A and B are shown apart, each in its own frame.
Chain A
């Protein structure tokens, strides 16, 4: 660390903001495990500190000219230098702020949501751990640091998904998430090493500078970019590693809101933003990225169309929206990706938190059940859900509309129109699946008696908890509506990033917004026809074709495929063969040697067992043999 870190207020702010959650984590784990209130207080306080520092940093560097970088020695070994430090530039500041805000809101919300849980302290400790690692990831100046915290957010995700570890499926889901992201991480690690090999260090600014093209042969650069993209695929749950995210919904809803929609899974997209110029150096990599993004987007959309679990629907939509972001980025639109990331963070967190309120109240995830139990009477959450879904669907004038529009504009600028067409199809499908649960919940076929369950829960304690939970909803809903109008300031803010870079400017097509909103409205309308209108059968058009519905519901059989590979190829295949090899071949040969030795021992004993004269003969024979040795 720079020696004057105390005096440098920016750095001090950053350090305090990022490390406060870690201190909280340690304090809670060591001392306040059995004092839930203290733990929550500590955690919330540190989240507040982080939020404040993030806002201060953002405000203080709104007009940042060039990136600020502070590094200090962490580890030096031979010619490997691994620093720890802070890199403050528009991209990281924006992400930092997003993380801090949503982190704060979700923690506040959790006060209500997690109240009374036996693992209350542990929950807040883990949330702090996550916040710490996510913030450190965001401000990483080197890929090493980024990779380290990348792993750590994965770890906190593992623990938070499996938070209710007594539920076997929760633990399984956590494991699945960790291992699948690990798969991507390994690829990323290899990519990082490849860069290290050629560049000699992993400073992000250096990787992003054009000199890398001179240092790395093009095929190596492409390979490195693709490998790192592997990490993004894992973390952002893109095709083909997308199946862990729906399962991750086993965790508490606030966790889904924070980790598995708005921030952690967006880390993949963030990494792309970080290495944006680097990726653009390799056209192959961007094309592959575009394809992966598109496939993920469409695939997830189809899955969302048939799911009955509200959190899973939003999870699929997350995958799909992350795909959108990657498409935008791969098309060369840094702002497109970053802007959609920001708005998505807001509205997706909103959606999950709303879903959390429903689930907390009614104890079920199934949208039909929820509808039957009367979610429509919970006015605020319902309204917020509609706002969030509207943003998700890209209905004007909500923020989602603007951010998607930017991406579409970038895609339209590409020579190949197929990406735009796919994206427009995605817009339609998004609108369809986003409003499907809404209409189902709004217009249940039959409602329970009005008084049976009041909209707002009864009892003062319940009411308090409910209020605590609703507070963040309102804020997020406000943000969802407002963010769309902040497009220009944000664009200006991000314009400072990667100034030297010239990318193909997106075509500014006048007709695009209209087409988009038309498609979105069309999607909503179709949903209304199928689910919303009075007397609707509440089955989607996909449900009409059972084969396809089943296909979608089974996640295109991807999960089964992986399971089969793991079970049959790895577990019962390679692993079993190797285990057999261990016991049969290696141990077998060693035991064989021992047995052989014993056998030889018995033979040797046999030689010594004959009668006297036989022994005399042996002596004589051996002597003759030895003397023969002399003569020949």
Chain B
């Protein structure tokens, strides 16, 4: 067996931290809930630190894949345990670390079946991490499924509204996506004739013919697109968001939907660039519809989480639009948007989580005047809502800006439609803010307490991240460019 490690296996140590955390949680007796929480926080904190380190340690001048780890896994089929990080995956890894850690803190006060919850949560995140770092198609698929399956129990056991229905729907939907991905993956493997699942090897120009690329691309696009909330395959997501417990909503909207978009990028676009060019019109159309549609439907929603859910559909449409533009800017914007939207939704769900824990309702109509009782919790929500509206100074603005510029250049009409949706998204976000936080204080909520400092930490982290990348977008875009520009230069013209 020939192994290859470029340096200390940082990427594997992220996975190891997750798995060790999982094992530790399993070993702790279920009644020591506090210990389980601390263990979870520690291990998730470790992953955050490693991802942060990787994000900073990545050498942007060299670019390309770094922190590579390669171990043969199933040699007859050319399957390798092949991890690497590049400008596309690092933002997502960082995002996962952030959401993971803050998610654990958000669920600090949860009391039911704590042990099982955190164990499953760790499994979920392991899959997500694995997917973002894997450069082997087989492993990528494995991680994809690993990250989906715990969702069922996480939602069905700890969820709230229509939880079983939502959990079943979500699981089947996403598995249906994988039903499209796996055949296409194997198809590519077989057609390449290279007997390898190595993405780097498969993405060499000329590996696949044009018709093969077109054929495989549409399967991969739709398969991953389901997870990315591409219209009209988005309906699982608002329902899932609503039903899931807060931390799971955070991971779900913040990271899981990114998996879909990342899959489109890493698998579909990397391996089938000609297919990408062929289908980009369709991608742009679906994305533009998704953006407007999500915003307009969000306007009608009365449940806080539904609102966020539909805003996610809209925002993921922006990612899709960026991916469809076939430009560097579009890719930059799309990846940036993955990150920014992830942090933003995580912040939204985290805030809603706190509010729900206090008031026990998510209905916009019942809430009101919360700014008075819990100004800090409200301001976190408002910050995230502003980010969602694309207000400058927060990370989302830049991402959307890049995508819109690219889209406007390439698809003027669809670009204009998408940009017009900014008004609607502003309208529905502000409407929620207005009805939930403004207005006279309600008697029944007058006695609720604001976020204590400790519980505020996760939201603080997320808000600071939003602001940081909002003020210094170069930090992110320079990173993404190390991947997007070489990728474009390598494309066959």
A contacts, CB < 8 Å to B = 73-80, 147-149, 151-152, 155, 158, 162, 165-168, 170-172, 174-175, 178-179, 182-183, 185-186, 189-190, 193, 196-197, 570-571, 574-576, 578-579, 582, 586-587, 590, 594
Contacts and interface: CB of A to CB of B under 8 A. Distances in A.
A166 B369 contact: yes
A563 to B, nearest CB: 13
Contact of B434 (A175, A574, A576): A175
Interface stretch (B145-153, B350-358, B420-428): B420-428
B392 A151 contact: yes
Interface string B400-411: 001011101100
Given A76-B474, A175-B431, A189-B419, A149 B392 contact: yes
B199 interface: no
Given A186-B419, A586-B232, A76 B434 contact: no
A171 B438 contact: yes
Contacts of B180: none
B422 A80 contact: no
B372 interface: yes
A148 B392 contact: yes
B430 A75 contact: no
B328 interface: yes
Nearest to B393: A152
A77 B477 contact: yes
Nearest to B407: A193
Contact of B296 (A76, A155, A193, A578): A578
B300 A571 contact: yes
A151 B404 contact: no
A158 B437 CA distance: 14
Nearest to B391: A155
A100 B254 CA distance: 41
Residue of B169, B420, B427 with highest tally of chain A CB at under 10 A: B427
B470 to A, nearest CB: 10
A73 B478 CA distance: 12
**Which of B372, B386, B434, B440 has the most chain A CB within a 10 Å cutoff?**
B434
Nearest to A184: B423
List 7 tightest A-B contacts by C-beta distance, closest first: A171-B438, A78-B328, A165-B438, A148-B392, A78-B329, A168-B439, A579-B300
Contacts of A73: 474
A171 B434 contact: yes
B333 interface: yes
A78 B486 CA distance: 11
B171 to A, nearest CB: 12
11 contacts: A77-B481, A80-B329, A165-B439, A175-B427, A186-B422, A189-B422, A193-B408, A571-B299, A575-B296, A578-B293, A582-B297
A579 B297 contact: yes
B426 A178 contact: yes
Contacts of A171: 433-434, 438-439
Contacts of A579: 297, 300-301
Interface of B: 169, 172-173, 232, 235, 293, 296-297, 299-301, 327-329, 332-333, 369, 371-372, 386, 391-393, 397-398, 402, 404-406, 408-409, 415-416, 419-420, 422-424, 426-427, 430-431, 433-434, 437-441, 473-474, 477-478, 480-481, 484-485
Nearest to A147: B392
Contact of B474 (A75, A149, A575): A75
Contacts, number: 133
B391 A166 contact: no
Contacts of A151: 391-392, 397
Nearest to B439: A168
A175 B430 CA distance: 6
Of B402, B431, B438, B481, the most chain A CB neighbours within 10 A belong to B438
A196 B405 contact: yes
Nearest to B477: A77
Given A175-B431, A197-B408, A78 B235 contact: no
A190 B419 contact: yes
A178 B390 CA distance: 13
B372, B391, B426, B433 — most chain A CB neighbours (10 Å): B426
A576 B474 CA distance: 40
B293 A155 contact: no
Contacts of B392: 147-149, 151-152
B327 A179 contact: no
Contacts of A582: 235, 297
Contacts of B296: 570, 574-575, 578
Contacts of A586: 232, 235
A168 B440 contact: yes
B391 A152 contact: yes
A470 to B, nearest CB: 33
Contact of A166 (B232, B426, B441): B441
Contacts of B420: 186
B416 A190 contact: yes
Nearest to A175: B430
A193 B480 CA distance: 23
Nearest to B169: A590
A67 to B, nearest CB: 24
Nearest to B409: A197
A224 B192 CA distance: 49
A168 B434 CA distance: 8
Contacts of A149: 392
Contact of B405 (A167, A183, A193): A193
A178 B423 CA distance: 9
A73 B395 CA distance: 17
B297 A575 contact: yes
A149 B329 CA distance: 22
Contacts of B405: 80, 193, 196
A575 B300 contact: yes
A224 to B, nearest CB: 12
Contacts of A178: 426, 430
Contacts of A155: 386, 391
A175 to B, nearest CB: 4
B235 A590 contact: yes
Contacts of B332: 77-78
Contacts of B439: 165-168, 171
A25 to B, nearest CB: 11
B427 A179 contact: yes
B295 to A, nearest CB: 9
**Listed residue (B299, B437, B484) with the most chain A CB atoms within 10 angstroms of its CB:** B299
Given A570-B299, A582-B235, A586-B235, A75 B473 contact: yes
Nearest to B440: A166
Contact of B423 (A74, A179, A196): A179
Contacts of A570: 296, 299, 424
Given A78-B481, A78-B484, 9 more contacts: A77-B402, A78-B329, A80-B405, A166-B441, A168-B440, A175-B427, A186-B420, A579-B300, A582-B297
Nearest to B231: A586
Nearest to B480: A77
Contacts of B293: 578
Contacts of B372: 166
A564 to B, nearest CB: 15
A92 B328 CA distance: 34
Contacts of A182: 422-423, 426
B339 to A, nearest CB: 14
B300 A76 contact: no
A79 B298 CA distance: 34
Contact of B438 (A77, A162, A193): A162
Nearest to B424: A570
Contacts of A165: 371, 437-439
B408 A190 contact: yes
B456 to A, nearest CB: 13
A174 to B, nearest CB: 8
Contacts of B441: 166
A123 to B, nearest CB: 14
Nearest to A177: B430
A175 B440 CA distance: 16
B408 A80 contact: no
A178 B385 CA distance: 13
